[in-house]
Structure 1
Amino acid sequence: MSENQDPRELGDLAAHWDELEIGVEYPVASNHCRYCQSTDLVLVVKLEAMPGSLAGVQVKTSARKWPYLRCKGCGHESRGQQ
């Protein structure tokens, strides 16, 4: 997907969670930053490492997608829920 997209509601982005690409900034409409009141917000999907293990003692690491809401005005970033 292109970085230059029309802003979308958070609910719409959440409804299409499986289609969102990792690392792409998705502009968010109808919302504002609680710290600086900027309306220039983006949703970014990131991977977070999840430790685990296979049978026995072999250690493995997997990753899980998490949403982050980033303010382009002040740079504050909030980790969302899945």
Structure 2
Amino acid sequence: MRCPFYNNLWDNYWRQYRISAETAVQIALQRVPGQVLRVEVDTEDGLLVYEVYIRTTSGIIYEVTINANTGEILDVDRQND
């Protein structure tokens, strides 16, 4: 069982030191305009990231990986059908 103090401390850290999902979506849409299909939070190499999946007007789906702490775009990957 985790200590309630620890949980509150982690929750406060999480909210204070990362960009919001909405901000991540806006950053991703600046790089790949289209319709957002979903947003996921994940870790890559120990780094917290947002993975934003976007369908372009031509139907191509891209995954835009964004550093959840800085908002930097780390990768743009075209998804295979």
User: Fold match, TM over 0.5?
Assistant: no
Q: Considering only CA atoms, is the larger Rg found in Structure 1 or Structure 2? A: 1
TM-score (norm 2): 0.42
Structure richer in helix, relative to its length: 2
